[in-house]
Amino acid sequence: MKKISKSVEETIEIGAKFAKGLKKCDCVALIGDLGVGKTVFTKGIAKGLGVKDARYVNSPTFVIIKEYEGRFPLYHFDLYRLNSHSCLDDMNYEEYFYGDGVTVIEWADKIRELLPDRYWEVNLKATDEKHREISIKRV
């Protein structure tokens, strides 16, 4: 599935609609350059999962993971600053990836070999200053 977003609000709505079909244990791998809307898309997922005040969802760049409560838990990882997998091993990442919630991972391409066998891959690409191409596929 491929969508074109013309605004932050549209990116949030695309994420929210996508989230309606997510189930417990689903993993969403977000891939794209800095500033293309990975965190904005995650806000949409949070909205679609019923996270209260989803507009306050922000990037956990400095803490690696944030948890939010909705229809079921949302585990939001940001691996931008990750230099090695050992940090994830120390925090028992598998408990999140295979837990009772949905895991969303920004910069997931850094840990492809650790991702579950089946996951959603969301590629975000800027086509110009305001427009984003969002490609979603099951891997």
**In the chain, where the domains are located:** 2-138
pLDDT score of 19 more than 70 = yes
What local confidence, expressed as pLDDT, does residue 23 receive? 95
What local confidence, expressed as pLDDT, does residue 55 receive? 78
Q: Which long-range contacts (CB under 8 A, 24 or more apart) does 84-93 make?
A: 85/111, 85/114, 88/64, 88/114, 91/64, 91/65
- Residue pLDDT, tens place only, 74-93: 999 999 988 777 778 788 89
pTM: 0.93
Cβ–Cβ under 8 Å, residues 104 and 79:
no
Lowest-pLDDT range of 10-14, 25-29, 84-88? 84-88
Higher pLDDT, 62 or 118: 118
Classify residue 115 as left (phi > 0), alpha (psi -120 to 50) or beta.
beta
Spell out the alpha helix ranges (H) of the chain. 8-19, 38-48, 86-90, 93-97
- CATH topology (fold) of 2-138: Rossmann fold (3.40.50)
pLDDT score of 61 more than 80 = no
Report the chain's mean pLDDT, rounded to a whole number.
92
